Amino acid sequence: MTRSTNDLGFIHQFVPGAEGGDGVCLLLLHGTGGDESSLIPLAGSIAPGAAVLSPRGRILENGMPRFFRRLAEGVFDQDDLRLQTAALARFIEAASRKYAIKPERIIAIGYSNGANVASSVMLTRPDLLRAAVLFRPMVPFVPQSSPDLNGVKALFSAARRDPIVSQSETGRLVEIFQTAGADVTVHWYRGGHELTEDDIEAAASWISDWRAAL
């Protein structure tokens, strides 16, 4: 059984990949109210044999962990977003050294708040995360100048009936990434904000193709 550890600035879990595997590591970033164990059950379904690095968000909202503060639904505290994005970037760098993870083989898997902070890291540190699966992401911030995301690949898994993230919001984030040069795939699901088997199947197929191209 994997145990949580409280070092490198974040409570987190690390699960080594399969011996003799391809060295891919899933950076699992939970949604509001989740923790470092919430998305681990998905790992075997979407990327068999991959290592797992799963931090817990450091901010509490009514007792529920998040990766950064918000002022209201869909209104982000930009000062805290910058602070927590930088902290998560430092964690990824430190964990890569500690667990011997190759940065180019890290793929972020973010859901809701986790997808938002993953997007923020990618827009501010495009050298750090080169691939991501983003479930129900929103625009974390609008860059003053477009970053260089050439070589970055991302799957956006969005829902047409999501009461939290509108289709236009998804479109805005896709445009930001594409304008910056990222290779973006958008998967639309007809349901709401919750994760479904449809999301998992789409993610597994996309990640399989990404791994094959490494």
Query: Annotated catalytic, 208?
Result: no
Catalytic residue among 119, 120, 162, 187: 162
Q: Give the three-class secondary structure for 189.
A: strand
Q: Are 160 and 167 in contact (CB under 8 A)?
A: yes
Catalytic residue among 22, 37, 80, 193: 193
Query: Annotated catalytic, 112?
Result: yes
What is d(CA 192, CA 150) in angstroms, rounded to the nearest whole number? 31
Neighbours of 160 (CB within 10 A): 12
**Which uninterrupted H or E stretch holds 124?**
helix 113-124
Q: Are 126 and 182 in contact (CB under 8 A)?
A: no
Query: Annotated catalytic, 193?
Result: yes
Catalytic residue among 38, 112, 119, 120: 112
| Beta-bridge partner residues of 52 | 15, 26
Active site positions, annotated: 112, 162, 193
